[in-house]
């Protein structure tokens, strides 16, 4: 059933995912985490769900445009399941919006494999990452990606190595000017503290540590399997998978540094994780096994979500 629906790229697939995430967002915030509906928090709530839904559409665009997977919708399916598995990610609206900017950066950086407009793509990628870091300071760690992409694609051109620094200057000057006009001239200095913001209480709960550990293990296994299946693929596709793996590891680092009782930025890891899980599923040739894995993933995520809700 699931494989027959999401095994194709039809508009109805994305409508189902978007409707599911909208219901999940409302259920998680107002029932699971007992958030009150108020006019003060409504703008941020609308911003959070808008960023989440746009992220799903952008993930689909990146995957299909760059042919990261086959012609199916499994990536959107797994992205939605990961939100179900980690509903605490919905509490961090800053991370939801920062993830949207990070996806815009990944869209430009992944398209570097065509070797067209390299300088503009490197600059744009770095620019979007820096904009995202204005919301979540630790997103700055993703600034490693533009230089890593330069290393893999055009390392001999010195200007490519300097383009991310140009983006830093642009965002820094514009950000400082806007902060000054807004009456917070010390925003840049106070925002980029880059210190551990996690809480001992969050990681002391065995459920959080066990869930994150299991998630990382499953995604790494799926990623390793995807790399094995890429043995005969072109060099460009292998490089993209390597860069997605680096993005996943950087995202995990940000999660460890910033997760707390008020939310988690684990949504920053969902894009590469969903791609790896999709690559694994499409490598399964037997339809019954593929269907069993898809249904099993859904049931596990529902069980974890419900179990945490009952134990809360």
Residues near 21 by beta carbon (within 8 Å), at least 6 away in sequence:
49, 52, 53, 56, 80, 83
Per residue in 163-175, pLDDT tens?
999 999 999 999 8
State if pTM tops 0.85: yes
Q: What is the share, in percent, of the chain residues with pLDDT greater than 90?
A: 48
Q: What is the DSSP letter of 37?
A: P
The angle subtended at Cα 86 by Cα 85 and Cα 90, nearest 5°, is 130
Per residue in 144-200, pLDDT tens?
999 998 998 888 888 889 999 999 999 999 988 998 888 888 888 788 887 776 656
pLDDT of residue 309: 84
pLDDT of residue 198: 62
Residues near 124 by beta carbon (within 8 Å), at least 6 away in sequence:
105, 108
Residue with tokens 């399941």: 81
pLDDT of residue 70: 82
Low-confidence ranges of the chain (pLDDT < 50): none
Q: What is the CA radius of gyration of the chain?
A: 20
Would you call 121 exposed, middle or buried from its count of C-beta atoms within 10 A (0-12, 13-18, 19+)?
buried
């Amino acid at each position: 059933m699931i494989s027959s629906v999401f095994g194709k790229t039809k508009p109805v697939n994305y409508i189902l995912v978007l409707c599911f995430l909208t219901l999940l967002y409302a259920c998680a915030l107002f029932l699971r985490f007992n958030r009150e509906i108020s006019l003060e928090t409504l703008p941020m709530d609308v911003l959070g769900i808008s960023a989440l839904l746009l992220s799903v559409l952008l993930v689909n665009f990146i995957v299909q445009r760059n042919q990261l997977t086959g012609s199916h919708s499994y990536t959107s399916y797994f992205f939605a399941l990961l939100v179900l598995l980690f509903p605490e990610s919905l509490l961090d609206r800053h991370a939801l919006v920062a993830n949207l900017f990070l996806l815009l950066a990944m869209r430009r950086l992944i398209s570097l494999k065509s070797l067209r407009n390299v300088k503009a793509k490197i600059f744009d990628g770095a620019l979007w990452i820096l904009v995202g870091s204005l919301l979540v300071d630790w997103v700055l760690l993703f600034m490693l990606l533009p230089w890593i992409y330069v290393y893999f694609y055009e390392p001999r051109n010195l200007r490519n190595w300097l383009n991310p620094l140009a983006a830093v200057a642009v965002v820094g000057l514009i950000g400082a000017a806007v902060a000054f006009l807004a009456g917070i001239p010390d925003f840049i200095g106070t925002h980029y503290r880059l210190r551990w913001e996690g809480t001992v209480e969050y990681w002391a709960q065995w459920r959080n540590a066990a869930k994150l550990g299991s998630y990382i293990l499953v995604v790494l296994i799926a990623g390793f399997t995807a790399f094995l299946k890429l043995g005969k693929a072109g060099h460009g596709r292998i490089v993209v998978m390597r860069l997605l793996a680096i993005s996943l590891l950087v995202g995990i680092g940000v999660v460890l540094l910033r997760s707390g009782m008020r939310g988690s930025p684990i949504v920053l890891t969902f894009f590469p994780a969903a791609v790896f899980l999709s690559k694994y599923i499409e490598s399964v040739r037997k339809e019954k096994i593929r269907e069993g894995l898809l249904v099993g993933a859904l049931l596990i995520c529902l069980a974890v979500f419900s179990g945490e809700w009952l134990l809360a």
